[in-house]
Chain A
């Protein structure tokens, strides 16, 4: 059995036309960063909320580390969640936010439950841990977050990226069995996002944390994930390493999501795919013999000006280093991104080949 198992989970919101999750199945291993990827509104956050206990599923089971979570309130699940907004407690400084869980005796693991009151007893339960221990843990976390010297700062003095780092650290300080991240970087600008993604990956590795990460951004997912679970129409359609999705999509929605733009009707016989552009050998393609779709990535065009496939440029859209061409060849319309040093005008003939690694059949 996997560390996290979600089996047959179904959820329908009151007043909704259909279920947001149907027969949802997911499993994650300990120490893994698993990303649930899907379009907005496909049920990613609902899945996360069901694991955290903020939503209750209509049917199905959630098991974490061998324990059934169904029916448990969020505070008893040993999961911690980082939301899209940092949701730092404004009446507390950075240090107090970070130590929220252990200070209140909420941390999962024994050994860092810290006394809140000077008299040495946490309010409403929790075990006593020396203040020095709390201080040490908080300082360590500040260092891990690259926020040394920020402990006494008010949270309103932090930038967006710093806020989200504190939010992540606060969740990690709760020592959860599973860390849930609900599009935690979507409100940040691009540069900050990439540096934080690297940071999350690094933290996950250092602390051996198991993370369930939700996003609608395939690049973000690929940057952070050990595996990606693709969610479409309320169910996980595939769970695999990021590269698999880029190079070998299993369905059109998946291919769409990972940047495949050209689909040409084809006939498949074994590993051979025949279509208007010619014949292609695609070993390992999942599609069975018979009717298929040849998928071509926009970046697939090579041997520009000297290739064996010929077409006519229908439209030109310069995009900096690349130019996006719409090319009509043998009745098919292809969108191709070609290095800007090759310049073609609308109506001109263009010759090219297709890179075998960027062609796939479904």
Chain B
């Protein structure tokens, strides 16, 4: 006769076995490559163990810090602008108006466009030979298309920021919309009857309600733009490379001696991003605990 204990054990084993293929797949597709990168960062181009020498080289490089700062700035500005636009989008989409469904569809559709396609679209739109430049020129606002400002391939990362904002703000906005469509309106009405005007309601009622949703999605947006390769590869300036492009160029350099440095960079950037995400989650969970959520 089967005891309760053996039944429970069998149940546990069946769960383990059902998850095994997934675990194996993750090990092959994720853990092993990461381990290979970490391992590679401790060896030199000739395959000899180099300790932390590659890390020291990367951390001592002006270009690395310059690229890191540039990438950080672009991601931070993109995320900040996206957050602001997201709040506006969410506030607009929660109202009823003609074309709301279309606006909602476009916002959702935007998410599905590949970043590479988005970058190409911006080239056609914003480059000096692009649509906007032609329109401005035809309107007589510039003497030639060459007078149009460099919005792509520029060292300030304007093109990158435009693509990231265009691509990501609807994502954050839709997350905020979910929150706003909940109980927020009742709380706004309550605040209004207590004498709070539009601005006070926005800062003391709406914003605290949407911040958790915005915070979660914005950190993901920050991480996604920080680690992105496609957009800076297409729209970036040769003078200011983002970290991902720099890593890739080092990785594919025919001179194999640079490859371990690329590995060290990957490890450093990954650690930095994980640290940001962990710090963020700790902050938000503390905030949620304070709000009793």
How many residues on chain A are close to B (CB under 8 Å)?
33
Closest Cβ of chain A to B206, distance in Å, is: 11
Is there contact, CB below 8 Å, between B193 and A180? yes
Is there contact, CB below 8 Å, between B194 and A170? yes
Is there contact, CB below 8 Å, between A107 and B195? yes
Closest Cβ of chain B to A182, distance in Å, is: 10
Q: Is B203 an interface residue (CB 8 A)?
A: yes
Q: Which of B187, B192, B204 contacts A73 (CB 8 A)?
A: B192
A87 and B204 contact, Cβ closer than 8 Å, known pairs A52-B193, A104-B196, A157-B292: no
Q: Is B199 an interface residue (CB 8 A)?
A: yes
Which residues in chain B, 231-253, are within 8 Å of chain A measured between CB atoms? none
Chain B CB within 10 Å, residue with most, of A104, A108, A174: A104
Closest Cβ of chain B to A226, distance in Å, is: 22
Q: Which residues of A contact B194 (CB under 8 A)?
A: 75, 80, 100-101, 106, 170-171, 174
Q: Which residues of B contact A75 (CB under 8 A)?
A: 192-197
Is there contact, CB below 8 Å, between B205 and A123? no
Q: Which residues of A contact B203 (CB under 8 A)?
A: 123-124
Q: Is B208 an interface residue (CB 8 A)?
A: yes
CA of A89 to CA of B200 in the docked complex: distance in angstroms?
A: 13
Q: Is A83 an interface residue (CB 8 A)?
A: yes
Chain A CB within 10 Å, residue with most, of B189, B190, B204: B190
Q: B70-86, CB under 8 A of A: which get 1 and which 0?
A: 00000000000000000
Q: Which residues of B contact A152 (CB under 8 A)?
A: none
Q: A66-98, CB under 8 A of B: which get 1 and which 0?
A: 000000011100111101010101110000000
For this complex, into which size category does the number of interface residues on chain B fall? 20 to 34
A174 and B186 contact, Cβ closer than 8 Å, known pairs A89-B204, A91-B208: no
CA of A65 to CA of B24 in the docked complex: distance in angstroms?
A: 75
Is there contact, CB below 8 Å, between A80 and B200? no
Q: Which residues of B contact A100 (CB under 8 A)?
A: 191, 194, 196, 204
CA of A107 to CA of B200 in the docked complex: distance in angstroms?
A: 13
CA of A108 to CA of B195 in the docked complex: distance in angstroms?
A: 8
Closest Cβ of chain A to B163, distance in Å, is: 34
Q: Which of B186, B189, B200, B205 contacts A106 (CB 8 A)?
A: B200
Which residues in chain B, 51-99, are within 8 Å of chain A measured between CB atoms? none
Is there contact, CB below 8 Å, between A124 and B190? no
Q: Which residues of B contact A340 (CB under 8 A)?
A: none
Q: Which residues of A contact B197 (CB under 8 A)?
A: 73, 75, 106, 124-125
Is there contact, CB below 8 Å, between B200 and A83? no
Q: Which residue of chain A has the shortest Cβ distance to B205 in the bound complex?
A: A89
Q: Is B290 an interface residue (CB 8 A)?
A: yes
A83 and B290 contact, Cβ closer than 8 Å, known pairs A74-B192, A104-B196: no
Q: Is B113 an interface residue (CB 8 A)?
A: no
Is there contact, CB below 8 Å, between A74 and B205? no
CA of A78 to CA of B194 in the docked complex: distance in angstroms?
A: 8
Q: Is A156 an interface residue (CB 8 A)?
A: yes
Closest Cβ of chain B to A95, distance in Å, is: 14
Q: Which of B190, B191, B196, B290 contacts A154 (CB 8 A)?
A: B290
CA of A317 to CA of B254 in the docked complex: distance in angstroms?
A: 97
Q: Which residues of B contact A83 (CB under 8 A)?
A: 186, 189-190
21 A-B residue pairings within 8 Å (CB atoms): A53-B193, A74-B193, A75-B194, A80-B194, A81-B189, A81-B193, A87-B190, A90-B293, A91-B290, A100-B196, A100-B204, A101-B195, A106-B195, A106-B197, A106-B200, A107-B195, A108-B195, A124-B200, A156-B291, A156-B292, A174-B194
Query: Which 10 A-B residue pairs are closest in the complex by CB-CB distance?
Result: A156-B292, A106-B195, A81-B193, A74-B192, A91-B208, A87-B190, A124-B199, A101-B194, A90-B291, A75-B197
Task: Show the binding face of A for B, using Cβ within 8 Å.
Answer: 52-54, 73-75, 78-81, 83, 85, 87, 89-91, 100-101, 104, 106-108, 123-125, 154-157, 170-171, 174, 180
Task: Show the binding face of B for A, using Cβ within 8 Å.
Answer: 186-187, 189-197, 199-200, 203-205, 208, 290-293
